[in-house]
Amino acid sequence: MVPFWRFVFVLCVAVACTPSPADWGGVQSAYTERCEGEDCAQGNACVGGLCLKPDHAGEDYVPSLRCGDGLQQRWEPCDDGNQANSDACVSGCRLARCGDGFVRLNLAIHDPEFEACDDGNLDDTDGCLSTCRVARCGDGHVRTDLALGDDGFEHCDDGNQSDRDDCVDCELARCGDGQVHEGVEACDDGNDHFDDGCVADCQPARCGDGHTRTDLEPGVFGYEYCDDGNQEMDDECGNDCYPNVVPTGSGTSVEDVGHHCAQILAAQPGSQSGLYWVDFDGLRPMPIMQVACDMQTDGGGFSRLILVRQDLALWHAWTEGLAGQTESSDPFGIPLNALGKVSADLEFFIERDGVRITPIISGVSASSWNPSLNDEPMQGRLTWREPGGEPSVCPEALVHAHDTWNWSFATPTGCAALGEAGLVILGDSERGLSESAVMIQAPGMAEPEAFETLEVWLR
């Protein structure tokens, strides 16, 4: 007769050599080794021929008795038969994962499980992120493991590449960093100079800021001969940053030219309206010429820079001039920037056939004078007032609002528009190489009307 114990052993070999997890019960684990009645290698108990998982073992416990033999047992997540920790199966026969402390080297960089680093933690504020990617400026996580001055130190990290917000290249935005902080800075040229186009407080240089620009040559718009930072009209430095006296500034002859009509009036109070000799750009290349000066309207000092007749091709009046002198009958135009002021600072009014038809207007941007624009809004805060009156502000920006060039300005009821009260200059693209000014609709006009002459006076 076969001994009972031998029969039981044979049955085990025949049936239960590879037990299923269901055979082990709730107190056992798939992570076990087979045993024969003695304590297992790690000191845990042998029950029914299987080693129980030690009480202190974690959920990822794998028995070491056969881990690494290259034969994956059912209790082993993996077993590649080597001791390398840089592939898909690391020590302890565990599947490699981000955060296990081992850097995988067997994946391409574009693989979603690729690891550039693995520091064994899930901290996103050190050199290796919880995604096993190397920390970098722009990843949206501020590093806290470095000291100020260390390579890679971050003051901030907003996770974007914008150079116009409050975090630039992981440095807090500041005036002088060379990047324009949108809504905070108007300019930023990366230096602390007061004599260039962007002064040290990150505001654009302007005539009257008290700092004379040295970065421009005579003849370039924005050039300043002087800048005394005040609004006095009769001191040595005029409010347009040119000398008030050239030499006496009376404008009565080619030997005694003025700079423009406002300067002549400041230098010679009581000057009457008429023709005066001026050198608009002072030390710049524009030749000496005669212009008409209005010394009466709204205190005087207006220079007539534009005189056009119907059918004359329009031009970019801000920067381009037209041939012709004021004493002749030919239409003419002088670049509006000849007055040395930004467009929005100019004050002007328009006359139709010798009669003023507009209030005093200011805040018009340079693009308003460009006939090549079409259906585009123009920046600027338009204001208007009657001579001697208080200014009103147009709630909307100017706009080229028609299929031929035109623009409108504020009226007592708001901003003008085609078909409504307000000034609209209409152009006809079929009547010239560019466009021709053909009609004008002024305040009080029900419909646009043709004109013989159109004059623009500025100061």
In one-letter notation, the amino acid at residue 260 is: H
Which residue is it, tokens 């079929």? 430
Residue with tokens 């080229």, as numbered in its chain: 400
pLDDT < 70 positions in the chain: 1-34, 36-39, 41-42, 59-66, 218-219, 245-247, 281-286, 311-312, 323-331, 374-381, 395-423, 431-434, 442-446
Using CA atoms, how far apart are residues 44 and 56, in angstroms rounded to an integer? 10
Residues 196-222 have pLDDT tens digits of 999 988 989 988 899 999 998 766 778
Q: Which amino acid is at 226?
A: C
- CB distance 301 to 295 below 8 Å: yes
Task: Provide the pLDDT for residue 362.
Answer: 85
The answer to whether 85 and 68 are in contact (CB under 8 A) is: no
Using CA atoms, how far residue 156 sits from 138, 152, 459, in Å, is 9, 11, 48
- pLDDT score recorded for residue 432: 60
Range of the domain at 372: 296-458
Report the relative pairing of strands 383-385 and 392-393 from DSSP bridges: antiparallel
Asked whether residue 322 is assigned to any structural domain, the reply reads: yes
For 52, which DSSP code?
P
**308 found inside a domain:** yes
Which tokens belong to 313? 């091709």
Q: What is the pLDDT of residue 7?
A: 29
- Domain presence at residue 366: yes
Can you give the pLDDT at residue 444?
A: 59
Does residue 359 contact residue 347 with C-beta atoms inside 8 Å?
no
SS3 303: strand
Of the candidates 248, 245, 192, 199, the one whose C-alpha atom is nearest the C-alpha of residue 222 is 199
* Proportion of the chain above pLDDT 90, given as a percent: 23
In this structure, is residue 364 part of a structural domain? Answer: yes
Q: What is the pLDDT of residue 333?
A: 83
**Inter-residue contact 250 to 266 (CB < 8 Å):** no
Tokens, residue 321? 């001039």
As given in the structure block, the two tokens for residue 324 are 């012709």
Scan for tokens 């902080």, then name that residue: 181
Please report the pLDDT score of residue 416 as a whole number. Answer: 56
Query: 36 lies in a domain?
Result: no
- Secondary structure class of 21 (helix, strand, coil): helix
Q: Which tokens is 151 given?
A: 């390579």
Element (H, E) at 333: strand 332-333
**Could you please report the per-residue DSSP string of 415-437?**
E--TTSSS-EEEEETTSSSS-EE
Does residue 291 form part of some domain?
Answer: no
Please provide the average confidence, as pLDDT, over all residues in the chain.
Answer: 77
End-to-end CA gap in the chain: 129
The total domain count for the chain is: 1
374 belongs to a structural domain: yes
Name residue 360's beta-bridge partners.
Answer: 385
Within a domain: 363: yes
Q: Cα separation of 19 and 312, whole Å?
A: 102
Q: Does the reported pTM lie above 0.75?
A: no
Provide the token pair at 208.
């009257």
